[in-house]
A and B are shown apart, each in its own frame.
Chain A
Amino acid sequence: MKKRIGKSRLGKPSIISEISFYLILGMFCAACIIPFIFVVIISFSSESSIREIGYSFSPQEWSASAYEYVFQLGDQLWRSYFNSFFVTIVGTASSLLMTIMYSYALFRKDFKFRNFFTFFAFFTTLFGGGLAPTFMVCKQLLHLSNNYAALIVPALISPFNIIIMRTFFTTSIPEELIEAASIDGSGEYKTLFKIIIPIAKPGIATVGLLTALSYWSEWFLAMLYIKDSKYIPLQYLLMKMQNQADFLFKNASVIGVEASKMLRDLPSASLRMALVVFIVVPIAFAYPFFQRYIISGLTIGSVKG
């Protein structure tokens, strides 16, 4: 029975629509991956080639010197890798927990302050005090400076994610389920962790993925709050080089001749691209972990259906 309906759900997909589906998405995905291939090519181009002919798909000369340079960073590279992983894992876990609890309460229709707290969170996406006051509060009041907390705490909550999570709850969890749990005498926390979370896995995985991505690619916090190289995450290691070079290029005429010397010493374009590769590869491997929950939702759906 199951199998029959499963087949009929997929129906007899017309060949044309099936092929056009593959083609449309395939083309878009090609467009997504080609610039990354470009990044990889440049990271393997020799510096002289970049200087002579600019950024090009077909460099005059290949070279792995950028990667050699990265590995020479040695301790700092692995330290930064560790920091990025640590911050991403701890940050994502804590962020998810707080987001789930908050959005779950917002999802509950019998929560009296539901609208207030929705507005309370959403309001902050629109109005903020700006960089300077936030910086002062974090640094002077909360002492978020030169520690892991400085990389985690300021990015813990995203009202956007709260709203998204609430939407996932409303679209995937029937209200009767909560009533039933309540009649069974299940406590609120027990209902949330034992009943709701397992059902809402795809939604949680998605929000978790988005949170992990934003922690992984975060460098601004490190720039603001971290001076000690012990805590520098990978992204900031990259941005620092990028920012230094940009600043020197822009101000070369006022800084004077020293700028040209420093520019020479700075890591090259190929190195910057190599660092992009170093950043993207781990998360690309981590991606299927989250994806399992999202896509498996689809697979189960079609088999069951």
Chain B
Amino acid sequence: MAYRLGRKKKSSKRLIKKNVILLTMVLPTTIWLILLRYLPMFGITIAFKDYKIYTKAPGLINNVIHSKWVGFDNFKFLFATTDSLKMIRNTVGYNLLWIFLGLVISVAFAIILNEITNKFVAKTYQTLMFFPYFISWVVVSYFVMALLDPTSGLIVKWQMSQYGEATNWYHTSKPWPIILTLANLWKNTGYSCILYLTAITGIDKTQYEAASIDGATRWQRIKYVTLPNLRTMIAILLIMNISKIFNSDFGLFWNVPLASGSILDVTQTIDTYVYRALSATGGNLGMTTAAGVFQNVVGFVCMLIANSVVKRIDADSSLF
């Protein structure tokens, strides 16, 4: 009895020691998170204040403290427009479509890269896939303009020579959901593809051996070994993308369509609406913060839902 007690004590001591050491590992990042992320969070209160500079002793904290509470007034502009539903539809719609397409295409490309037998080609492909990452949306917009410009665009010229008339691309809504989708996939596939590819490299090789011994074909191997092993990465990326469902890539929706007015019904998102609203009303800090808080709260709720769904399906793949 005494012996067993002693062992238990010893092991719990070891457990405490282990946890203390693990705590020292998280310490540097924790400090960083507190200083650079949690400390500034007091700024969230600005969303509920009529932000004014406290003239007696200006400083962000004093200004926040001395500004009046205004409840949800700063949020109202988000719903003041008759187009609220449209911009939310666009934001969420594009996000859902792109999360789905991005997932399918990146996973497919990662698997293909893995299956390509010539490693030199695989390496080259993989390097090329990262080029779009460096090309800013402004530069992309020049490129798209070179194709679609109403007078000198290559596609426009081709249409003119072929049909005698050309589409007025920047004033026609229909093609834009496709153009934006292509642009988004073009820019982001390389990034998520490499994550899946790395996850594939981590797969235990004995699984493949076992599969080949069982006489599995290439497709069977992909289906029964590669894909199941990717599920954790897929789930994690899915949850993280869903947490950004109310956000949009401003540069894509602003620069690539050249901020053209006639196609706003398919290019207006929450971010572009907020940008226009704020430049019209003079960049009120309260409204800026409110817009961010709104997007984040919704994202947070969606993320919690997605996480619990994943947890129910596969507990090991959930975020927490």
Contact = CB atoms under 8 A, between A and B. Distances in A.
B308 interface: no
B43 A129 contact: yes
Interface centre among A14, A99, A297 (most CB of B within 10 A): A297
Given A102-B26, A129-B44, A291-B127, A202 B201 contact: yes
A295 B131 contact: no
A101 B28 contact: yes
B264 interface: no
Contacts of A142: 35
Interface stretch (A53-61, A71-79, A222-230, A258-266): A53-61
Interface string A266-284: 0001000100100110011
B131 A55 contact: no
A287 B195 CA distance: 15
Contact of A21 (B38, B116, B132): B116
A115 B183 CA distance: 37
B320 A122 contact: yes
Contacts of A48: none
Chain A at the B interface: mostly helix, strand, loop or mixed? helix
Contact of B240 (A14, A163, A284): A163
Given A55-B145, A126-B299, A36 B135 contact: yes
Given A21-B116, A130-B288, A137-B35, A35 B320 contact: no
Contact of B60 (A132, A167, A217): A132
A119 B320 contact: yes
A130 to B, nearest CB: 5
B38 A294 contact: no
Contact of B146 (A5, A54, A122, A153): A54
Contacts of A251: none
Interface string A42-71: 100000000001111100000000000000
Interface in B52-106: 60
Contacts of B1: none
Contacts of B5: none
A238 B22 CA distance: 43
8 contacts: A119-B320, A133-B46, A160-B240, A163-B319, A203-B198, A298-B119, A298-B197, A301-B203
Given A39-B139, A137-B40, 15 more contacts: A29-B124, A32-B131, A54-B145, A57-B146, A113-B19, A117-B26, A121-B33, A124-B38, A129-B41, A133-B40, A163-B240, A171-B229, A203-B198, A294-B126, A294-B197
Interface of A: 5, 8-11, 13-14, 17-18, 21-22, 24-26, 28-29, 31-33, 35-36, 38-39, 42, 53-57, 98-99, 101-102, 104-106, 108, 110-113, 115, 117-122, 124-130, 132-134, 136-138, 141-142, 153-154, 156-157, 160, 162-164, 167-168, 170-172, 174, 187-189, 192, 200, 202-203, 205-206, 209-210, 213, 217, 242, 269, 273, 276, 279-280, 283-284, 287-288, 291, 294-295, 297-299, 301-302, 304-305
